[in-house]
Amino acid sequence: MTISKIDFSQLLKEITDIGIALSAEKNHSRLLEMILLKAKELTNADGGSLYIYSEDRTLHFEIIRTESLGIHMGGTSGKPIDFQPISLYDEQGNPKDNMVVVRSALTNETYNIKDAYKNKEFDFSGTRNFDKSTGYRSQSFLTVPMTNHENNLIGVLQLINAIDPDTGDVTIFSDLDQQLVESLSSQAAVTITNRNLIDAQKKLFDSFIQLIAGAIDEKSPYTAGHCRRVPVITNMLADAACNINKGPLQSFIMTDEEKYELEVAAWLHDCGKITTPEYVVDKGTKLETIFDRIHLVDARFEIIKRDAIVSALMSKLSVSSESQEFNWREDKELQDKLTQLEEDREYIKHCNTGGEQITDEQISRINKIGSYTLQLNSEELPLLTEEEIQNLQIGRGTLTLREREIINNHVNVTIKMLESLPYPKHLQRVPEFAGCHHEKMDGTGYPNGLTKQEMSLPARMVAIADVFEALTASDRPYKKAMSLSQSLSILGRMKQDGHVDPDLFDVFMHEKIYMKYAKEHLSPEQQVEVVDPSSIPGYQPL
């Protein structure tokens, strides 16, 4: 670009377009490379380097480009730069300003050098060594500091060997070249600062999400593991749904921003559990509240057994003479009663653990055992209270209807918490995605009874991930981890019953997401299990 051939309107447009392009670029490596390439393009430079300032007071090589030598390192090249960072100060704390890039960084001034070999102000020994090893001839240098709107150093942009477009010879960088690169460097510094601020905000937001999971972890180690693993399954399912080239979802696609939005929702889908009482979240047995009341029932059985022995002794004493001895351990009637009480106690302990269902026969026996009485302080009391009997007769899991309502309310709390946040545009659907993980395709879920048509596909992904993680988890207080086949069979029946999205379930099976997840997060026994997809109910091969 020569001064006589400048079209200032075109130049202004180029500068404006560069500013717009820099602002639009979100990838950090591409952004830095764009800055260097645009500077080379404006000045017709053969080579250049871009350094980024670090808080340890060094300049790090980010990109090196020399067209005539075919050198492309750093940036998007995939070739790492193995040069050591350049320190701005020596070990005694003195500035190492004999190097032009260091001087530019320290003084915030531009240095336009016509010929490095004739320059006596700076040390160009490294440049000479490079030239000697490559046959190159480094001549003109333009070194420009990049400082942002707060005058903070961001980095240094250095261009080498301006090329005359007419002759192809190396020439000097003109005053206009310097002004253009200084303008570009200023734009670039502000853009990098803004990008760093955005990245820092994202890092802070992600850390906040981790903090919430950590808080739940302190409250309950069970739900925290769940919060960490659901995003893993969700991400796998989202990637699979985007990459599948057959079936109903073959045209489905999500952008990186949409995937991040979904990941955030998956992380936060249970944040409302932070308000749920620990004894409900961690309830491992039916009689557990703040502690497991089975121990109280144990003590009551001991009292009944004691009463039985005392009653037998009193009965014998009333009809026996003093010369006769009574050995209660050999009394058959008494021992039969004690044996029955011991069997009943073990039965109650068994019923105290959670299960999938309870029979009428079990309910009847619990009622019968609960009607036993014991004497305490001259008062006759039932072995089991009405509330304890109701707890022991829970049909599925360990929660009573009231406790299940408390647990279910965590979704309402989650939605309320998430809807209160001021989201940027690309995260506005987080409350929807997170709040639908207990909804069902047939409208029988909670909290809003939404149907498939009323839920977005990403929201349905979180629902499947939530169920599969819960089925395969080994850290629940109320159940053991299920095998992959068991878990997939339950998930398949949920598809048949209209509870989970059928298309996503088929993708989940077709892409073997369950195996990818198992290899990273499940027990060795679950990892080595061979699953026969044809045996899984509801699965329709794509």
The answer to whether 199 and 28 are in contact (CB under 8 A) is yes
170 or 186, higher pLDDT: 170
Q: Give the least confident one: 6-10, 86-90, 378-382.
A: 6-10
446 and 367 in a common domain = no
Q: Is residue 211 part of a domain?
A: no
The distance from CA 186 to its chain's CA centroid, rounded to whole angstroms, is 36
Helix, coil or strand: residue 78: coil
The boundaries of the domain holding residue 79 are 3-198
Phi and psi dihedrals of 408, rounded to 5?
A: -60, -30
The residue out of 378, 397, 416 marking a domain boundary is 397
Q: What is the CATH number of the domain that holds 174?
A: 3.30.450.40
Share of the chain above pLDDT 70, in %: 89
- Domain boundary among the residues 198, 231, 262 is at 198
Give dist(CA 154, CA 237) in Å, integer: 40
Is pLDDT above 70 for 12?
Answer: no
Query: With contact defined as beta carbons under 8 Å apart, do 535 and 488 qualify?
Result: no
Residue 38: name the closest of 131, 196, 140, 177 by CA.
177
- Considering the domain architecture, whether residues 8 and 155 belong to the same structural domain is answered as yes
Give yes or no for residue 222 having a pLDDT over 80. Answer: no
- Are 375 and 411 in a shared domain? no
Q: What is the pTM of this model?
A: 0.68
- Residue 103 forms part of a structural domain: yes
Whether residues 188 and 241 share a domain: the answer is no
Model confidence over 252-300: pLDDT tens digits? 999 999 999 999 999 999 888 887 776 666 666 766 665 556 777 777 7
The domain total for the chain is: 3
Q: Are residues 335 and 372 in the same domain?
A: yes
Q: Is the pLDDT of residue 330 over 80?
A: no
Per-residue pLDDT at 1: 43
Q: At 537, which amino acid appears?
A: P
Place of tokens 């044809």: 534
Residue 477 pLDDT greater than 60, yes or no: no
Looking at residue 391, what is its pLDDT?
Answer: 81
The verdict on residue 288 lying in a domain is no
Say how far residue 345 (Cα) sits from the centre of its chain. Answer: 45
Q: Are 300 and 435 in the same domain? A: no
Q: What is the pLDDT of residue 431?
A: 96
Summarised one tens digit per residue, pLDDT across range 238-256 is 999 999 999 999 999 999 9
Same domain, 153 and 46: yes
- Domain shared by 366 and 269, yes or no: no
pLDDT of residue 10: 67
Q: Is residue 541 part of a domain?
A: no
Residues 277 and 409 in one domain: yes
Asked whether the beta carbons of 268 and 411 are under 8 A apart, the reply is no
Q: Is residue 208 part of a domain?
A: no
Structure confidence at residue 322 (pLDDT)? 53
Identify the band that residue 225 occupies on the pLDDT scale cut at 50, 70 and 90.
confident
Question: How confident is the prediction for the chain on average, in pLDDT?
Answer: 86
- Least reliable range by pLDDT among 43-52, 164-173, 308-317: 308-317
pLDDT reported for residue 379: 78
465 and 389 in a single domain? The answer is no
In a domain, 268, yes or no: yes
CA distances from 376 to 300, 367, 449, 480 (A): 10, 21, 49, 38
Are 299 and 421 contained in the same domain?
A: no
Q: 373, 397, 421 — which closes off a domain?
A: 397
Contact 58, 85 (CB under 8 A): yes
* Between residues 213 and 515, the one the model is more confident about: 515
Within 10 angstroms of residue 485's Cβ, the number of other Cβ atoms is 16
In a domain, 54, yes or no: yes
Token duo for residue 101 = 């890039």
pLDDT band at 319 (very low <50, low <70, confident <90, very high): low
Same domain, 389 and 407: no
Domain with 257 in it: what CATH number?
1.10.3210.10
Confidence check: pLDDT of 336 > 90: no
- Residue 190 domain-assigned (yes or no): yes
d(CA 392, CA 387): 9
pLDDT in tens, 33-83: 888 998 999 999 999 999 999 989 999 999 999 999 999 999 889 899 989
Distance CA 215, CA 271 (A): 9
